[in-house]
Every structure is written in structure tokens, then in C-alpha cells.
Amino acid sequence: MPRDHMHPDQRSPAAAGAPLSSAETPFLELLARGASGDAYEQPVLLARAEGRSTEWIVALEQAKLLALRVRSELEGRRRREAELSALFETAHDLAGLRDLDAVLQAIVQRARSLLGTDVAYLSLNDPARGDTYMRVTEGSVAARFQQLRLGMGEGLGGLVAQTARPYVTDDYFKDGRFQHTLTIDAGVRDEGLVAILGVPLTLGHHVIGVLFAADRRARVFEREQIALLGSFAALAAAALDTANLLTETRSALADLERANEIIRDRSGVIERASDVHDRLAQLVLHGGGVHDVAAAVSQVLDGTVEFTEAATTPARALETARAEGHAVRHGDDWIAAVIAGGELLGALVLRGHPGLDPVDQSTLERAATVTSLLLLARRSAAEAEQRVRGELLDDLLDARDRDPRLLRERAARLYADLDATHVVLAARLDVTSADADQEASARRRLWSAASHLAATRHGLAAARDGGTVLVLPLEGGDTATAVARRTARHLGTAVQESVTVGASAPVEAPAAHPEAVAAAYDESRRCLDALRLLGRSGDGAAAEDFGFLGLLLAGDRDIAGFVDRTIGQVVAYDERRGTDLLQTLDAYFACGMSPARTKDDLHVHVNTVAQRLERVGRLLGADWQSPARVLEIQLALRLHRLSAPTQR
């Protein structure tokens, strides 16, 4: 049929006067009114029913998939916004703490609402009676359940308290990991609970209780939900700590009332504690950052407080502060660890203030807690950026036909310059755990630390092949070896484990040469494997560090570079002076390193051979005749001969 006589629906949408982009219109309307996921099939079904063209159907299908992705992303953002809002509201309640029960009730209510569970409840340990009891419940209907008192170590809560780790069961009565008792099982049965998640409430390294979320049906809790409940548990522990601190303060005030001198000595300290409490609350409410917290505490404590990375903080003092859960003195400074969920995020350091009052010490510790909350609140946004960086790096490694212009634009939005020279690094943990969860957690920490490093260095990072791959810019005067070693130290300190890093040779303009990035990644992995085989776990290196073995590791087989590094000074000397040092070296090795036989082969005096070898030693170093150097020099000599033009 002639084209001009085709039915309008048999032609392409563009030919029919309707651009392909118009296929997106019904889906934009669905997005605008917040329609359900099922509604997104209707435009496609309607088009099929109307007999629209194949091109139109394909365009609709593509628009539908894109709209569903946007809808999913919007829902995820709304969910994260709701979670962050609840955490900030709870932090606000904590900042204005007047009624501990009201704060704990609000925490449990918000946890139940955001996780969408039937029941949420909080239990606290009773050291005096040696058991644990229900403190707050939400959604519970069974009186016996609400009044449960459990022996230490019993039930799922006992397992959480013993290990100080979250535990989850999708069917309580079929789970044999924890100790069942008649009392507990009866209470759980009365309440009708099936799936239960418990996370610890910790102060320092002590578990003081457990926060639970439970459903009356089988359910699998996601990692994000476990982390969210852990954040609420941290706030509940902070509320209890604050209440205890207020109780201690009131008791101290009662004692101070009996002595005016003590009142005068302590009044300034209490005012400072109240001041920092209000300042920190305002910072949380107005979206302040960690450096704002440090500045506020500096004013209150009349000193200089700084937030420092874990890698730049004295390791022993930081580890003590982390283990004890309190600020510790280091020389004239005080160090308070900033911790979230067992992960070390950094430290608050009070400089030059050795005589710190106990209340001021608590103020520094409280500021460290607030700092950890702020870092957690911003982590969700950072993780989104990390995923974008990882996707860009995956495209560089896997999709080598990507448009360089689009790669540059995507990188620019991440403040990365893919036209600069970069180094590709492969990083991997050097320890394996029998516990799969622990090993997975360690890998996640490695990826998180690598992503943070990539963001600060304007590079890229992604989890890959059981480890992490980074692409970092090579600054002037730096080398691939230096970058690899520095990265190994940085990541090892961040994750508290040994990390080995292999580096590629520099890659120029990765956006224009994506295939070079993939080859460089293979080279960095070979270098990483070589380090581990050589027993250099926890170190960093590039192929150039392995001498002639580097030829086997390097993706581009940089023979000229190897020859130049090994005997380049001798070659240059011969070219400048017109000498025969290379010929003498060849003859020397061919004669079994015997000067007497060498002088016969060259038809010169033995003293001439000795003088030439002495000159070689000054050019190559005193150890040039060691077995390892001899092997490399002989290989370089042979490669030099093979690469030299044939003399006619």
C-alpha cells in the first residue's frame, strides 16, 4: 500500500503527527494524581484495544516503565522523608524532655506507624530484680502480655540483650534460636504475635533494654526497617540517659542547696549544660551540621571543639572512648567518639582543656551523640548520591559504547571531571567471617567508606566482585602507588579491618576511553591478587612496584617503561658519552659475571672491565648485582635489544 494511503494508526506516531514524547502524557497525569500501580497498565491496554501501531505501543511501554520508576523513586523519597521527619520530631521531644514516659510513648508510636506493624513495645532491664519488664506498649490488647516480666536471657529479647545485636523472627513459635519459656510463650500467644523484630537499647557498651516491632502475621523485615528501628532505639536510650542525667542533676542541686559555696562553684557548669542543651536542640531543629555543633559546644565549654575523621584521631584514645562510651583524656585534649549502630563515624575533640569538669565532659559526650544523629539523618541523602556514583562507574566498566558527552555531564553533576587523569583501584577486605551476616556487614562498611572517599576526592566508587572499585583523580606530583597505599590506609582505618588495594596505571580522560577503564580495572585486580599472594595483605601497590612482574600485571604491557626504569640511566649515559656500558653488561652476564672472561670476550684489559662495572654500579645502585636486580637487568637488556632497530 502506498505510504500516503496508509491508515493513520498504521503509521509511526511521529509520521502521524504525534511525537513519540506524547506517549508520556497519560502517565504524567497518573503521576500527578498519585494513581495506583495498576492504573499504569490502562493506557497500554487502551492503545492495544484501539489497534494502535506497534511503534506507538512500544513508546507507551517505555513511557510506562519510566513513569513506574519515577513513581517508585517518589514513594521511596516520601518514605525516607517520613522517617527523617519522625526522627527529627523525636529528637525535638528529647531536646525538650520533660516527661520521660511521654517521649518513650512517642518513640514507640512512631516506630509502629513507620514500620506498619500491629504492635510495638519497649522493655527495660531491672538490675535490682535481675529481670526485664515491659515499660511501654502500643497496639497491645492482652493484659498478660503488657505485664510480662522476663528472666535475663529468656526469649528473643534475651538474645538481643546478650548479643547487643538486632534479631528478627518471621515465626516466633517455630524459631529455636532463643530460649522459650511458658510465661513468655503464653503472653505472646495471648497477643497473637507471629513475626517479631527486636533491637537493643545501649548506653555505652551496656544493653539497658530492647525495642520491639511485631506483627500478628508472618512477615520479613527489610534492612532499612531494622536500621530505622535501631535509630529509634538510640533515641530511646538517649531519652533514658537524659532522664537519668536530669535526675542526677536534680539530686546534685538538692545537695548544693545545703552549701552556698558549692552552689556558686556548680552554677556556672549547670548553666553551660543547659545552654548547650538548648543550642543543640536549635541546631537539630534548624538543620545544622556537625561543624555547627562543634562551634556551639566550643562557645559553651570556652575552648576549641573540632569534628575529626577517625583516620586523623589518635587511635588508642579513640578506641578507648568507643569501648567505654565516654569522653577520654589524651594529653591536654578530650576525645569523644561519634558512633552510630556500632560504626565509628569520627570524634569530637576538645583542644587544650585538661581540667574538664564532669558535667562539661557529659556535655561533650552529649554533643557527640547529637553529631551521630545528624550524620545518620544525612546518610540517606549521601547513600542516594553513592548509588548514582556507583551506577556511573558501572556504566564506565560495562557499557563501553556510552556517549562520552553524557558520561561527562553525569560526572559533572557529581563534581567529577572524567577528562582528567585517573587511577582505577580495586579494594578488598583481607578477613573472612564464618558469619555471613558479619561478612556482608563488613563489605557494606567498606563500600560506604569507599563511597565517602570518592565523594570527598571527586571520584567514583562501586561495589563489585566481592570488593569495591574506585576511580580517583591523579593529582599533580602524585603516583598510582602513593594513591593505592593512601587508600589502603584510609579504608582500613575507616572499617577497622585490613584492606588491600591494587592500582592500575594512570588512565587519561576516562569519559573518552571507557574501554581503558575496564582494562585498568582488570589490571588493578591482578595487582591486588599479586599483593595477597606475596603476603602483603593490608598494603597498596601498582603494577610498576613489581619490577618485571609488573609486565605480567599491567594491562598495556609497558615494556618501554620497564626498560627505562631498570637500565634507562645506563642507556642515557652511553648515548651522551658514546661509551659501551650496555655492551659490557651484556658480555659480563654472558660470561657468568666473571671479569676475567669478560675482558677476553671484549678484547680489553681487565681494569677497563672493572672501571666500566664500577660506573654501572654508580648509575644503577650498589645492589645492582643482587639476584633479584640481576634478573630484572638481564630481562631489560634483552628487551632493549629486541626493541632496538636492526642495524644494517
- Using 50, 70 and 90 to split pLDDT, how confident is the model at 155? confident
**Bridge partners (DSSP) listed for residue 151:** 131
Query: Above 90 in pLDDT, residue 191?
Result: yes
| Domain closes at, from 503, 530, 553 | 553
- Name which of 36-40, 169-173, 518-522, 544-548 the model is least confident about: 544-548
99-125: buried (b, 16+ CB within 10 Å) or exposed (e) per residue? ebeebbbbbbebbbebbebbbbbbbbb
- DSSP letter for each residue of 587-611: HHHHTTT-HHHHHHHHTS-HHHHHH
- pLDDT at 391 exceeding the cut of 70: yes
Nearest-5° angle of CA 455, CA 456, CA 457? Answer: 90
Q: In this structure, are 118 and 228 located in the same domain?
A: yes
For residue 123, being part of any structural domain is answered with yes
CATH number at residue 572: 1.10.10.2840
Let me know: does 566 contact 628? Beta carbons within 8 Å.
Answer: no
Per-residue confidence (pLDDT) for residue 300, from 0 to 100: 75
Q: Is the pLDDT of residue 166 over 90?
A: yes
Q: Tell me the mean pLDDT in the region 15-21.
A: 44
- pLDDT(631) > 90: no
Last residue of a domain, one of 521, 553, 585: 553
Residues 104 and 207 both lie in one domain: yes
Number of domains within the chain: 4
| Mean pLDDT score across all residues of the chain | 80
Write out pLDDT tens, residues 285-317.
666 777 888 887 787 777 888 888 888 888 888
Do residues 207 and 125 touch, judged by C-beta distance below 8 A?
Answer: yes
d(CA 182, CA 30): 53
**Would residue 180 count as lying in a domain?**
yes
Shared domain for 137 and 236, answered yes or no, is yes
State which of 553, 586, 610 marks the end of a domain: 553
CATH number reported for the structural domain that contains residue 509 in this entry: 3.30.70.270
Instruction: Give the confidence band of 3 by pLDDT, cuts at 50, 70, 90.
Output: very low
Most confident among 211-215, 299-303, 350-354, 356-360 (mean pLDDT)? 211-215
Instruction: Take residue 240 and report the three cell numbers written for it.
Output: 533514658
Pairing of the two strands 499-503 and 422-429: antiparallel
Highest mean pLDDT among 35-44, 481-490, 563-572: 481-490
Q: Are residues 218 and 358 in the same domain?
A: no
- Give φ, ψ of 461 to 5 degrees: -150, 150
186 falls in which pLDDT band (50, 70, 90)?
A: very high
Q: In this predicted structure, what is the pLDDT of residue 397?
A: 77
> What is residue 310's predicted lDDT score, i.e. its pLDDT?
81
Instruction: Name, in order, each residue with C-beta under 8 angstroms of 524's C-beta and a sequence gap of 6 or more.
Output: 424, 425, 426, 469, 502, 503, 504
Same domain flag for 322 and 233: no
Write out pLDDT tens, residues 314-330.
Answer: 888 888 888 888 888 88
**What pLDDT is attached to residue 217?**
93
Neighbours of 440 (CB within 10 A): 12
3-state percent helix, strand, coil for the chain, nearest multiple of 5: 60, 15, 25
Residue 571 lies in a domain: yes
Domain boundaries, position 328: 287-381
Q: Is residue 260 part of a domain?
A: no
Residue 4 inside a domain? The answer is no
Kindly state whether residue 354 falls inside one of the protein's structural domains. Answer: yes
Assess whether 223 and 359 both reside in one domain: no
CA 310 – CA 308 distance, rounded (Å): 6
Domain co-membership, 358 together with 432: no
Same domain, 103 and 215: yes
Residues 172 and 291 in one domain: no
- Cβ contacts of residue 78 below 8 Å, gap of 6+? none
Q: Are residues 441 and 497 in the same domain?
A: yes
Whether residues 564 and 474 fall in one domain = no
**Domain membership flag for residue 481:** yes
- The CATH code of the domain that includes 144 is 3.30.450.40
Q: What is the pTM of this model?
A: 0.36
Cα angle 614, 620, 626 (rounded to 5 degrees) comes to 85
523/554 Cα distance (integer angstroms): 6
In a shared domain, residues 405 and 377: no
Residue 256 lies in a domain: no
